[in-house]
Structure 1
Amino acid sequence: MSEGVRVAVVGGGWAGLAAAVHACAAGHRVSLFEMAPQLGGRARSVRKDGLTLDNGQHILIGAYVQTLALMRQVGMDVEAALHRMPLTLQYPDGSGLRLPAGPALPAFARGVLGWRDLPWGDRLGLLWWAARWRLRGFRCPPSMTVAELARRCPRRAYQALIEPLSVAALNTPAEQASGQVLLTVLRDALFGPPGAADLLLPRRPLDALLPDDASRWLRARGAHIELGRRVMRLTADDTGASVDDEPFDHVIVATPPGEAARLLADISPAWSAAAAAFTYQPIITAWLRAPQTRWPQTMMALRADGLRPAQFGFDLGALGGPADTFALVVSGAAPWVSAGADATRMALMNQWEEAFPATTHGPVEWIASRTEKRATFACTPGLKRSPARVHPRLTVAGDHVEGPYPATLEGAVRSGVEAARCIG
């Protein structure tokens, strides 16, 4: 194929937007179809009682190089849009890990050695285990869970660092999560270039973080974007592909796994069956209003257990959002989904009062909560993720296709970029 072929992108989440932008930049004629009334997929904004709230509190890190490059490509001022801070897992009582700025490996060592509430033996033990992982090339048996990977790691270090990082990065409890995928994340973040481990917290609603700028960029270059359009049928043969009988030279399917399985059932039954077999982990996000309250950190770690649902909290007012408004995030939330909305709400309110007893200058108000039951695929050991290439004229993009990353924005963007490279 020569440049300028007709390309259809089915799905307008971050994977689809990445694919559309890169295809358009390569000179192809792009049509993007999104079944929802807005772009962004799961990483989108919602409106509640006059407030603009994100559909889950998404976190980026400095190692998300392709996501950051895509943002810059569509004209975003990344430094203004994202609040950068060193990796910090600080609890409301002031304990926890905080990495200093600078090259990642020395920063990690300095941060662990300066972790005052962790005994010296545990600090040295954690560094020893990190060195072992590095010497082994950040590889482990594919059947190993995070809990098994860190079985001999100092218990307090495991509970204070490894376990929270596992549920934050993989949205899967450590006892079920893939040790290899977590090692990949640790390699790229804690042992990557300077700033790789930094937390990048959005200062804008998710709609304004990528979808709005990407939409303007695409339309300015002649791309056709159709919202509220659910594609019903795909076909592909040696001469091209079609979307609801409209001909294209190449189609990129950038939908969630279930929708991709439906669309590809006739083209590749084996691929479709594998995608339909995915299991998922939910995330619950709750928003509260606490008058005249500010946290010492824009993001706080929280002690989670069978009585305390949330692992992290965010001061949205400090991030340019509604004043005195906070988000509590429950990752790997299947037990709390089973417990029900009322039990979860009561537990979160109790957790707030326990964690922040002296910060509130008035009654805490419950604003809303949102449960994303299929927030991410369950990132378990040995998970078989389907390949991106389904047919010479058809590829799939999404954080669920083959790749080293868990279900993250970076995984979605990388897959979109790779799908666009398959055109031709």
Structure 2
Amino acid sequence: MPGTLAVIGAGWAGLAAAVEGVRAGHAVTLYEMAGEPGGRAREVRVDGLALDNGQHILIGAYTQTLRLMREVGVDPETALLRTPLRLTEPDGRGLQLPPGPPIAAFAIGVWRRAGWSLGERIALLRAASGWAWRSFRCAPQLTVDELTRALPAALQRDLIEPLCVAALNTPAAQASAAVFLRVLRDALFSGPGSADLLLPRVSLGELFPAPALAWLRARGATLRLSTRVQTLERQGEAWRVDGDAFDAVVLATPPGEAARLTATIAPSWSACAAALRYEPIVTVYVQAGDTRLPEAMLALQAGSQAPAQFVFDRGQLGGPAGLLAFVISGAQPWVDAGREATLEATLQQARTALGPLLRGELRVRQLITEKRATFRCVPGLQRPPATIAPALVAAGDHIEGPYPATIEGAVRSAVAAVASLR
């Protein structure tokens, strides 16, 4: 039965929960401690320039995210640049999947990939066939390194490590093979277009948070931004949020904040949320004259002196010409090394990897570090369940589920949380 619903947190999970709550007929009140919505996938203004706090990639398999974008008035066809999966390197080589049925597209892409020997291509196709034969399942304690140990080094370097760190934000030596296989199954083999890259042409704020907030306001939801919830407590059949009564609550805050609010309500749930460990992502925005890269996204060879795994041409994605975003996932070693070392190494990597493509001097515009970008997706990880107590449910990319910390994981958890209250 529809009733009064408090949603605590206005990241993508909280916004999705609030939208779903209004659609289900609830009277929704949305709380957010920051002045703007979006959480870790938000717009950042730097000297009047709209940047993002990290360069996020969506894929065709993000069905719930795309549905909710349409619900709040965003057209994914114009807001996102859709291309078949392409992990193109600056020299033009890389895995590039053609359009079409996923299994055939993957086989064709592997077969056409320049720079791999015949034996390497056969090894990858044989391994992928084995994963499919086993329904993309493996022992829960395996790491990605252990799963793929038999593959040639070139495949590890050119495909496995970049895919793993992009999808799980955890190095292959530490990452859960079970989650990695699940991502491969849904992204590469679940249907035509599922593996397509969807690169935002607008800021992350315009992609969903700002339109969602406007949609909620227009439908009578109560919005309490710049409001950190201090107390959450049960009183009879109701939940009280800072003293105000609600029939149900969706807790869509980061894990640490959720652990604080539930410490006395559900101590074991709180402890599970508090025990999660994190991996940072660093984004270095560099102005490179009027450089235009061959593609909007290029894969880079990362290493001990080369931090970034990908570079994005923001000029092709609605931003100013020549603005490049270098993304460093699994970035703890570089956070430890410090800002100056990270900038120096990134600029050197840009000169080495992009050399002849650059047009103009390199100038750092901004370095953004999201220290708790994602939970560390390791084998056997215990994540907090969605249900905390009667009429109190959690949403977020950290909630128990089959996916790593992604926008789609956050949105799906929110949809499920609201559905469980009906």
Give yes or no for contact 1:236–1:393 (8 Å, CA) kept in 2. Answer: no
1:258 is aligned to 256
Secondary structure of 2:280's counterpart equals strand
Q: Which amino acid is the alignment partner of residue 74 of structure 1?
A: V
- What one-letter code is carried by the residue in structure 2 that aligns with 1:388? A
Are positions 1:58 and 2:56 aligned together?
yes
Task: Tell me the residue number matched to 1:386.
Answer: 384
Deviation at 1:155, TM superposition (A): 2.3
Q: Is the 8 A contact 2:292 2:321 kept in 1?
A: no
What's the offset of the Cα at 1:75? 1.5
> CA offsets, 1:146-186, max 9 Å, x none?
00011112221122111100000000000000001010100
Task: Tell me what 1:316 maps to.
Answer: 314
- Contact 1:145/1:380 (8 A) holds in 2: yes
Name 2:225's counterpart in structure 1.
Answer: 227
Structure 1 segment 151-300 matched on structure 2, within 5 A: 151-236=149-234, 239-300=237-298
Two-structure CA RMSD over aligned residues (Å):
0.9
Structure 1 residues 290-336: Cα deviation after superposition (integer angstroms, max 9, x where no partner): 11211111000000000000000000001111221010000000001
**Aligned residues with identical type, % of pairs:** 56
SS at match of 1:356: helix
Amino acid in structure 2 at the alignment position of 1:75: G
Gaps of 5+ in 2: none
Distance in 1 separating the partners of 2:103 and 2:195: 10
Q: 1:29-44, aligned counterparts within 5 Å?
A: 29-44=27-42
Unaligned runs of 5+ in 1: none
Query: Does structure 2 conserve the Cα–Cα contact (< 8 Å) formed by 1:236 and 1:391?
Result: no
CA distance in 2, matches of 1:320, 1:132: 41
Q: 1:145 aligns with which of 143, 146, 154?
A: 143
After superposition, the C-alpha distances for 1:243-279 in whole angstroms (9 at most, x for unaligned) are 0110000001000000000000010011111111111
The separation in 1 between residues aligned to 2:390 and 2:402, in whole angstroms, is: 23
Residue 10 of structure 1 contacts residue 251 of structure 1 at CA under 8 Å; is this kept in 2?
yes
- Which of 343, 363, 366 is the aligned partner of 2:364? 366
C-alpha distance in structure 2 between counterparts of 1:292 and 1:286, whole Å: 17
* 1:347 to partner: Cα distance: 0.3
Q: 2:301 is matched with which residue: 295, 300, 303?
A: 303
Q: In 1, Cα distance between the equivalents of 2:318 and 2:260? A: 40
Structure 1 residue aligned with 2:338: 340
Cα distance in 2 between the residues matched to 1:252 and 1:360: 48
**1:238, 1:393 within 8 Å by CA — same for their partners in 2?**
no
Which residue in the other structure is 2:115 paired with?
A: 117
AA aligned to 2:71 is Q
Say which is worse superposed, 144-153 or 212-221, in terms of deviation. Answer: 212-221
Q: Deviations over 1:50-83 (max 9, x none)?
A: 2110000000000111111111111211100000
Shift of 1:341: 0.6
Structure 1 partner of 2:10: 12
Counterpart selection for 1:330 from 328, 331, 337: 328
1:85 aligns with 2:90: no
In structure 2, give the amino acid aligned to 1:236: R
SS at match of 2:356: coil
Structure 2 residue matching 1:306: 3-state secondary structure = coil
Per-residue deviation, residues 195-236 of structure 1 (Å, max 9, x unmatched): 000100000000000011111211121111110000000012
1:376 matched residue in structure 2: 374
Whether the aligned pair in 1 keeps the contact of 2:95 and 2:110 (CA below 8 Å) is yes
What's the TM-score, normalizing by structure 1?
0.98
Tell me, in whole angstroms, the C-alpha distance in 1 between the residues paired with 2:411 and 2:235.
27
Amino acid at match of 2:377: C
Higher mean C-alpha displacement, 235-244 vs 123-132: 235-244
2:357 maps to a residue whose letter is T
TM superposition shift of 1:393: 1.6
Letter in 1 for 2:413: S
Structure 1 residue aligned with 2:24:
26
1:192 positional shift: 1.2
Structure 1 position 112, deviation (Å) = 0.4
**What is the Cα deviation at residue 360 of structure 1?**
2.5
**Cα offset, 1:27, TM superposition:** 0.6
8 A Cα contact 2:231 2:241, kept in partner: yes
In 2: Cα distance, 1:359 partner to 1:305 partner:
21
The equivalent residue for 1:132 is 130
| Cα distance in 2 for residues equivalent to 1:272 and 1:120 | 52
Structure 1 residue 116: Cα displacement: 2.0
Q: What is the number of residues matched between the two proteins?
A: 422
- Deviations 1:108-166, CA, capped at 9 Å, x for gaps: 01000111211011101101100100010110111100000111122211221111000
Q: Structure 1 residue 238: deviation in Å?
A: 5.2
1:237, distance to aligned residue in structure 2 (A): 5.0
The one-letter amino acid paired with 1:337 is V
Q: Secondary structure at the match of 1:357?
A: helix
